[in-house]
Amino acid sequence: MAQMTPWVHTYTLRDLLDDSFDLFKEQAVNLLLAGVIPFVLVAVYTAFMRLFVIPESFLRTFTWDAASAMLTNGRFWLYLTGLTLCSTAAMSVSYLAQCKIAILHAYGETITLQRVFSRLVRPVFSLLINGIIFGILGAVVSTLVALVVGFIGLILGVVLGALLSVGGGEVVGVIYLLVIIVSGSLSFVITVTPFLAVPIFLVFDDLGPFAAFGESWRIGLHRFKEYAGAVIVFTTFPLLFIPFIALLGFGLLQVTQYLAPSVSVMIIATLLCGLTSVLFCAMFASLQALVYLDGKCRLDNLDLRWMARQMGLGEEFDQALLVAPGAVSPTAYFPDYTAPAPRTPEALPTTRTTAPVAATAQVDYSRPPEPLPASSPPDYSQPPEPAARKEEQDAG
């Protein structure tokens, strides 16, 4: 029997993190390429505006006077508005394309750039709607978390300030700084976790924005603690590379200033931020694909349906799940049973036929059972025959 794709199973938190990095490593080239391609729009827009609309350099060398002049220039705000729109569109397409690559690879399906970038218009708009929902929910969660954490920080600050009469004001200031950092981090993690599977539902199950958020909310709340822990790891891990990114940006700026003095700091910063975002989103998309699979396996029996499909019983198993009330989500994704399962050498039959069962003879249970034939026990008093001699007798 063909084996199930190794990505379709339930995960512990450690397996979720390990397999996410493994998935990223296996598809790193495709993930980065799919992320960089949409940013060609940003590069073209930046070059056009730089050559024809704002030929003077903004922030070629950073000074407060240059910054003030830039902020009072109307053409700069025109450039910044267009850059924001182009970057948002490019980032949305890039992010959804990377999520599509991750989930297609997890299902063992063929990945081509044409397939990855096809039918992404509707998911982009749906993602923007979910961005609005994310912003509203994030504001509510941030307010609640800030109130709770701020109240705890106020008590700690007052107590420590009273105990340390000397330098009490500095202690209170440090406490409030920690409160801001902790409350912001908690708000981000709590808000992001219910949205983890949204892009996968948009690009793979082709759901609308609200249905995708509902399904992602259902998966996210089922194992909120584990998924929140994974989000913490994936959002803190890139912080280790901040010194390297800063050094790379400084070196790139020095090289461009030597080769092309008219290149501004803002252009360098835009390109560097874009490449950093592509790398982070590629890693995060791998996590989201496996969170989707883990939730579908735990709540919708995806792994069992996959195994039933490979045994030729997929339709029967799905029907049994649909009959049982509450056994599967109404929007659950069911595999295409007319196509071969991914990563299988043989194709499944498109139709299943059942051969007629031969009629069996009727058994008369009123008659007593016949006794077993009598058999004499072996004579253990005689030594057993050698194995070679016995084989010769059998051959003769």
Are residues 289 and 324 both part of a single domain?
no
What token pair was written down for 69?
């002049």
What gap in Å lies between CA 98 and CA 199, rounded to an integer? 10
- Are the C-beta atoms of residues 231 and 192 closer than 8 Å to each other? yes
What gap in Å lies between CA 198 and CA 218, rounded to an integer? 11
- Are the C-beta atoms of residues 130 and 215 closer than 8 Å to each other? no
What gap in Å lies between CA 78 and CA 198, rounded to an integer? 32
What gap in Å lies between CA 46 and CA 344, rounded to an integer? 47
DSSP for 320-368 reads HHHHSTTSS-TT-----TTSPPTT-SSPPPSS---PPPPPPPPP-TTSP
Flag whether 193 is in a domain: yes
Three-point CA angle 16, 22, 28, nearest 5°: 130
Flag whether 284 is in a domain: yes
Mean pLDDT of 152-157: 73
Are residues 210 and 310 both part of a single domain?
no
Per-residue CA distances from 169 to 95, 152, 160, 174 (Å): 45, 17, 10, 9
Find tokens 């330098």 and name the residue: 167
Flag whether 388 is in a domain: no
Q: Encode pLDDT of 269-311 as tens digits.
A: 777 777 888 889 999 999 999 999 999 999 888 888 878 777 7
pLDDT on residue 194: 94
Flag whether 352 is in a domain: no
Query: In terms of Cα–Cα distance, which of 107, 37, 34 is closest to 289?
Result: 107
Are residues 283 and 307 both part of a single domain?
no
pLDDT on residue 56: 58
Binned at pLDDT 50, 70 and 90, residue 151 comes out as confident
What gap in Å lies between CA 23 and CA 5, rounded to an integer? 13
What token pair was written down for 367?
């008659």
Q: Encode pLDDT of 6-17 as tens digits.
A: 888 889 899 999
pLDDT on residue 30: 92
Are residues 137 and 212 both part of a single domain?
yes
Q: Is 295 left (phi over 0), alpha (psi -120 to 50) or beta?
A: alpha
pLDDT on residue 136: 92
The type of residue at 216 is S
Are residues 200 and 341 both part of a single domain?
no
Are residues 203 and 164 both part of a single domain?
yes
- Are the C-beta atoms of residues 263 and 257 closer than 8 Å to each other? yes
The type of residue at 391 is E
Q: How many domains does the chain have?
A: 2
Which domain-ending residue is among 267, 300, 333? Answer: 300
Are residues 84 and 62 both part of a single domain?
yes
Are residues 217 and 334 both part of a single domain?
no
Query: Is 356 a residue whose pLDDT tops 50?
Result: no
Flag whether 371 is in a domain: no
pLDDT on residue 284: 93
pLDDT on residue 344: 42
Are residues 288 and 313 both part of a single domain?
no
Binned at pLDDT 50, 70 and 90, residue 346 comes out as very low
Range in 72-86, 218-232, 302-316 with the lowest mean pLDDT: 302-316
Mean pLDDT of 218-230: 92
With residues binned 3-state (H G I as helix, E B as strand, rest as coil), the percentages for the chain, rounded to 5, are 70, 0, 30
Contacts of 84 (CB under 8 A, 6+ apart): none
Flag whether 358 is in a domain: no
Domain range for 200 is 13-300
Which domain-ending residue is among 264, 285, 300? Answer: 300
pLDDT on residue 146: 82
**H/E run at residue 80:** helix 74-106
Query: 3-class DSSP state for residue 270?
Result: helix
Count of CB atoms situated within 10 Å of the CB of 392: 10
What is the chain's mean pLDDT, rounded? 77
Query: In terms of Cα–Cα distance, which of 226, 224, 204 is closest to 107?
Result: 204
Per-residue CA distances from 242 to 37, 125, 236, 245, 284 (Å): 24, 32, 11, 5, 17
Q: Encode pLDDT of 83-115 as tens digits.
A: 888 888 889 999 999 999 999 999 888 888 889
Are residues 37 and 174 both part of a single domain?
yes
Rg (CA), the chain: 32
Flag whether 360 is in a domain: no
Mean pLDDT of 241-266: 70
Range in 37-41, 110-114, 219-223, 321-325 with the lowest mean pLDDT: 321-325
Entry field: residues in the chain: 396
Are residues 270 and 318 both part of a single domain?
no
pLDDT on residue 295: 93
- Maximum pairwise Cα distance, the chain: 113
Which domain-ending residue is among 247, 276, 300? Answer: 300
Query: Is 2 a residue whose pLDDT tops 70?
Result: no
pLDDT on residue 104: 93
Flag whether 267 is in a domain: yes
Count of CB atoms situated within 10 Å of the CB of 130: 22
What gap in Å lies between CA 328 and CA 331, rounded to an integer? 8
What token pair was written down for 136?
């509203």
Are residues 62 and 167 both part of a single domain?
yes
What gap in Å lies between CA 307 and CA 365, rounded to an integer? 40
What are φ and ψ of residue 228, in 5° steps?
A: -65, -40
